[in-house]
Amino acid sequence: MRFTTCLLLLALSGCASVPMAGEGADAQGKRFEPPPAGEAALYIYRESVFAAAYSLPVSLGPRQVGALATDTWFRIDLTPGSYEVACTTDEKTATATVTLAPGETRYVEAAMRIGWLGPRCGVFEVSPEKGRQAVMAGRRAQAQEPR
């Protein structure tokens, strides 16, 4: 019993933390409201417990969005168009291009993967059902303001 408790405490102490949005922003994002008129919405999330000790930096083209920890997500309202979503680790940068139409909502997973010297990441567009499920199970991270 004592060994299990120690393992649990060790596992919890190794989790990365990132700035979190307030509870109101979390609840608002989980309502999955349509984007403002003439815009599109993009949810980017991370859910795996693999490499929980690492935060995962995420960007849209040259714009740094912020970092995701396990079971966290962002919602970003954007002008319709094509965007390169990227995640970066010490070993790799992975990208995926997402094209957003007016009024559309899309979902992207930023996932940690096994690497040679440390974790790698991958970026994958997912179905709305899978994306909503991950968002509902997670918490909203604080995105950086555009510069």
Please give the residue range of the domain that contains residue 50: 2-140
The model's pLDDT over 5-57, given as tens digits with 9 standing for 90+, comes to 333 333 434 567 887 888 999 999 999 999 999 999 999 999 976 657 788 99
Q: Examine residue 147 and state whether it is found in any structural domain, yes or no.
A: no
> If DSSP codes are grouped into helix, strand and coil, which group holds residue 16?
coil
For residues 22 and 61, the answer to whether their CB atoms sit within 8 Å is: no
Q: Examine residue 105 and state whether it is found in any structural domain, yes or no.
A: yes
Residue 2: phi and psi, rounded to 5, are -60, -40
Residue 82: phi and psi, rounded to 5, are -100, 135
Residue 25: phi and psi, rounded to 5, are -65, -35
Q: Examine residue 145 and state whether it is found in any structural domain, yes or no.
A: no
pTM, two decimals, is 0.86
What is the C-alpha separation between 84 and 123, in angstroms, rounded?
Answer: 10
Q: Examine residue 9 and state whether it is found in any structural domain, yes or no.
A: yes
Q: What confidence tier does 85 reach under pLDDT thresholds 50, 70, 90?
A: very high
What is the C-alpha separation between 57 and 51, in angstroms, rounded?
Answer: 13
- For the chain, the average pLDDT equals 86
